[in-house]
Structure 1
Amino acid sequence: MTSAFFEDPQIHRDGRDDGTPEDFRDEPLTGELDLADRQALRRVAGLSTELADITEVEYRTLRLERVVLVGVWTEGTAQQAESSLRELAALAETAGSQVLEGLIQRRSKPDVATYIGSGKTAELAEIVRATGADTVICDGELSPSQLRHLEEIVKVKVIDRTALILDIFAQHARSREGKAQVELAQLEYLLPRLRGWGGNLSRQVGGRAAGGVGIGGRGPGETKIELDRRRIRARMAKLRRQIAEMAKTRETMRSNRRRNRIPSVAIAGYTNAGKSSLLNRLTGAGVLVEDALFATLDPTVRRAQTPSGRPFTLADTVGFVRHLPHQLVEAFRSTLEEVTQADLILHVVDGSDAEPEAQIDAVRQVLREIGADRVPELVVINKADAADPLTLARLRRREPGSVVVSARTGAGIEELMAAIEAELPEVGREVRVVLPYERGDLVARIHELGEVFSQEHTAEGTRLHARVPAALAAELDRYVTAEAL
């Protein structure tokens, strides 16, 4: 991707530079959109990429080679709209595409029929023909009718942001569980978007209306689309069963770690924020590190130690992104449980990004969706060696208690390890006590707050061998007797 993205703010609405300031860069205070702005299809200057090696990608006979990007700017500033399209270009590159053009239209809301309106769609068709593009990618999730109407007018394949992300996940999934999760998400996305191409796909027959099929051919039959839907639903049910079985294995591994009282730390964050690099720096795991979006899909769990020698586990997880498809969140829920059941989340932020605050908000939105917002969080601002010092200072003020590091150079790693040790839950103490039967309240608290290894009812009381928090262990000291040892 070239570095000349959006470098010229003085861009005419028809793509010509007339030297005048942009007159719709700021959001109107009243929220009302100027008519000319609403109708403008604004070309984003310099949005193109050149790749030496273009890899053919196929999903639903999808060819992502020479693409034109289209976005609708409904709210926020022009910089935010361009940043979203720039991220879409990076996603298209990751999928193996060459981006030819990037277009943004100013509208109050996307058109319900064609996403950008019929008139602008005709202009888009002209641009597609002029550039020789074979695919249009829209920066949003399109309805089946919007996809169909757009394709009818531009005469090339049209996909949306969700389909693009699903395609990238399909390329990067390596484990059996990851492949099953991606396939399930793809089928959930595909199911409502099935459509036939003419009467040759219909299997509804009957008498003269069926072209003279006659005896043996009458009846309601079943359309090809209905048959495909039934097969897809059957495949989805099978995938869900497989994922559920694999989730049991993952839960067994987590249970073993909990039984051994090894605290767990999950690394979460925006895609390409440097999570895998940080895992390698902390543990020497040797996980694949690539300057690409969604390079990591399959979680990796490694053991590490705090400066005092206390062991804990580090889990690298899939990266998040703005508008992460809900199909992926649901399909990857078993994998994301590494985050929801962790004792601490390392929220890795790319300090060199143009809008790191937006990345933080996007990640926290996904954490809320999966129920991980109650897990303690430690913000780690990565890529300090490439970040603007003013940006780092701004992030430190916004996120008090955050740690600034560079996974590439190792700067700040010692401070990070000390912060992790301070945030990990208490180890607790192992106790052997005999509790009088009238102290059933203490027995209940041990079961609630600790881990019981054995329990026996004797003449003297309830004999317990358990590991409990330090505060509760202090209360139980008076019940430690010779008989309990």
Structure 2
Amino acid sequence: MQEIELTKVLIGGVSQNQAYFESDMTELAELVKANKMTVVGDIRQNLERSVAATYFGSGKLLDIRQLAEENDAHTLVVNDELSPSQIRNLEQELKMTLLDRTGLILAIFANRAQSREAKAQVQIARLQYELPRLRVGEQANLMQQGGGPGFANRGSGETKLEMSQRTIKNKISQLRHELKTLEVAQQTKRAQRERAEIPTVALVGYTNAGKSTTMNGLLRLFNADTTKTVFEKDMLFATLDTSVREILLPDNKKFLLSDTVGFINKLPTQLVKAFRSTLAEAANADLLIQVIDFSDPNYEEMIKVTEKTLHAMGIDDVPMIYAYNKADRKPDTEFPVETSDHDLVYAATDSASLQLLTQMITKELFADLTKVTFSIPFAAGKWVDYLNERTNVLKQDYTADGTQITAEVGPEDRQRLADYITTV
């Protein structure tokens, strides 16, 4: 099979004494790779602040031109979001295509979105990003999926159409209307789950920390139907759509587990706003599990980024387990270990780790369960079936008057079957 030649790009960044500049640049290279491009050169400059007109200083622009010529690179990807004038000036100076970090992340999201909801959210974010960057007399190539530097040419759409700001705003309004319709359907599903009184758990965290691997591990451990597993791959933003699966435990306890979109440093503001509805699963969850790549030396910064993003979305008061994943990749690290009630060191590919994580989840979710004995007459036998199907039955005996059954139940079931309680 003939290999497809990837677009050659230079990456560049201005360090303004940021503590995590090195890791940001490494991450930028991974984002380029995730967008099916290849890095052929790396340009960095130390400045107190980036140059207002051209981001880089004039001397560094000469270095970029020379490096681009040596490596036959026609695209420069920079580590920050640039102003429209900076992009215009750099393209004129360098005779290269410019893609900033925000544009790159939007491109990846546009090329990865699968569901109608995710596609609409990404397109809104991309149009908001493009709006101030339109140039007079320029044709904006804004595809239904993709468009602009780094975007794959996917699907049908508005190709090479000269769009005025009014046209773009109308398109954004139309997409928002479509999203509202989709959100109503999602809210209906959530309401049905709430009525079923099934607790919910949401996996959150930095991109590529192992959320999907954790979900799939739990599904394989407790669910016979392996077709319910979600896509997982060792790459940034492997999944964008929220997936919800039911986890049924051997003792009849069950909960809904959702796998949400991952976060990243400098996540575009447009995407934070756009994905609020997608992360409603996290906002409405009874428990969050923040999955952390413990093998990454910058994992503490990743925790800060995750919590800052959750805060920006108004998700502040949901109980959280800190799950330090990939302990198997960190030398001399013992796992699985529950270091506190809300901290776990584990490996998502390890069965014992997943069992311990499950224990922590059930301890948090089902803390209000109590052991209750019911005496249910034969005429009300439906409640015996209900308890066997919905609760952890510890003991069951038959008497002359009916069935005596001891089970772990929550407050709702205690109230529902109050007439049949004999001992608590």
TM-score between the two structures when normalised by the length of structure 1: 0.68
Q: Deviations over 1:251-296 (max 9, x none)?
A: 1111111111100000111111111111111113321111111111
Matched, 1:271 2:212: no
2:28 maps to what in 1?
A: 88
Matches within 5 A, 1:158-169: 158-169=98-109
Aligned in 2, Cα 1:193/1:392: closer, same or farther, shift over 3 Å?
farther
Structure 1 distance, partners of 2:350, 2:364, is 24
2: distance between equivalents of 1:373 and 1:388?
Answer: 33
Quote how far apart the aligned CAs of 1:301 are: 0.4
How many aligned positions are there? Answer: 354
Separation in structure 2 between the aligned mates of residue 391 and residue 357 of structure 1, nearest angstrom: 19
TM-aligned CA distance change 1:307 to 1:359, over 3 Å: farther
Aligned to 1:325: 268
CA distance in 2, matches of 1:294, 1:161: 14
C-alpha deviations, 1:138-170, integer Å up to 9, x for none? Answer: 101111011111111110101100000011111
Q: C-alpha displacement at 1:127, in angstroms? A: 1.9
1:238 — aligned with what?
174
Superposed CA RMSD in Å reads 3.0
1:228 aligns with 2:164: yes
Aligned residue runs from structure 1 range 236-385, under 5 A: 236-284=172-220, 285-306=228-249, 308-385=251-328
The equivalent of 1:214 in structure 2 is: none
Query: What residue in structure 2 maps to residue 29 of structure 1?
Result: none
* Residue in structure 2 matched with residue 419 of structure 1 by the alignment: 360
Q: Which residue of 2 aligns with 1:27?
A: none
* Contact residue 327 and residue 333 of structure 2 kept, 8 A: no
Q: Deviations over 1:14-69 (max 9, x none)?
A: xxxxxxxxxxxxxxxxxxxxxxxxxxxxxxxxxxxxx96445xxxxxxxxx11111
Query: C-alpha distance in 2, partners of 1:401/1:290?
Result: 27
Q: What residue is the counterpart of 1:216 in the other structure?
A: none
User: Which whole-Å CA distance do the structure 2 matches of 1:108 and 1:131 have between them?
Assistant: 29
User: How far did 1:123 drift?
Assistant: 2.6
Q: State the SS of the aligned residue for 1:116.
A: coil
In 2 relative to 1, CA 227–471 (structure 1 residues): closer, same or farther, beyond 3 Å?
closer
2:279 alignment partner, SS class: helix
Aligned equivalent of 1:66: 8
Which amino acid counterpart does residue 257 of structure 1 have in structure 2? Answer: R
Secondary structure, aligned partner of 2:48: coil
Deviation at 1:82, TM superposition (A): 1.6
Q: What secondary structure sits across from 2:246 in the alignment?
A: strand
Q: Does residue 190 in structure 1 map to residue 158 in structure 2?
A: no
Distance 1:133 1:189 in 2: 25
Alignment of 1:146 with 2:86, yes or no, is yes
| Farther off after superposition, 294-303 or 399-408 | 399-408
> Displacement of 1:318 after TM fit?
0.5
5+ residue gaps, structure 2 = 141-159, 221-227, 371-408
Structure 2 counterpart of 1:409, which letter?
D
| Structure 1 alignment gaps of length 5 or more | 1-50, 56-64, 202-223, 430-467
Letter in 1 for 2:66: E
Larger RCO (alpha carbons 8 Å, 6+ apart): 2
In structure 2, distance between residues paired with 1:381 and 1:403: 6
**Deviation sequence 1:424-456 (CA, Å, 0-9, x none):** 155679xxxxxxxxxxxxxxxxxxxxxxxxxxx
CA distance in 1, matches of 2:10, 2:105: 16
SS of equivalent residue, structure 2 residue 277: helix
CA distance in structure 2 between the partners assigned to 1:345 and 1:392 by the alignment: 21
Change beyond 3 A, Cα 1:197–1:235: closer
Q: 1:94, CA displacement in angstroms?
A: 0.6
| Contact 1:265-1:314 at 8 Å conserved across structures | yes
User: Compared with structure 1, are the counterparts of its residues 84 and 52 closer, same or farther at alpha carbon in structure 2 (3 Å cutoff)?
Assistant: farther
Alignment of 1:173-188 (within 5 A): 173-188=113-128
Separation in 2 of the partners of 1:148 and 1:365?
Answer: 32
**Once the two structures are aligned, what percentage of the paired residues are identical?**
38
Structure 2 residue aligned with 1:75: 17
3-state SS of the aligned residue for 2:209? coil
Cα drift, residue 391 of structure 1: 10
Question: In structure 2, do the counterparts of structure 1 residues 379 and 172 end up closer, same or farther at CA, with 3 Å as the change threshold?
Answer: same
Q: 1:396 to 1:304 in 2, by over 3 A?
A: closer
Shift of 1:130: 2.2
Q: How far does residue 388 in structure 1 lie from its aligned partner after superposition?
A: 3.1
Change (3 A) 1:247 1:299: same
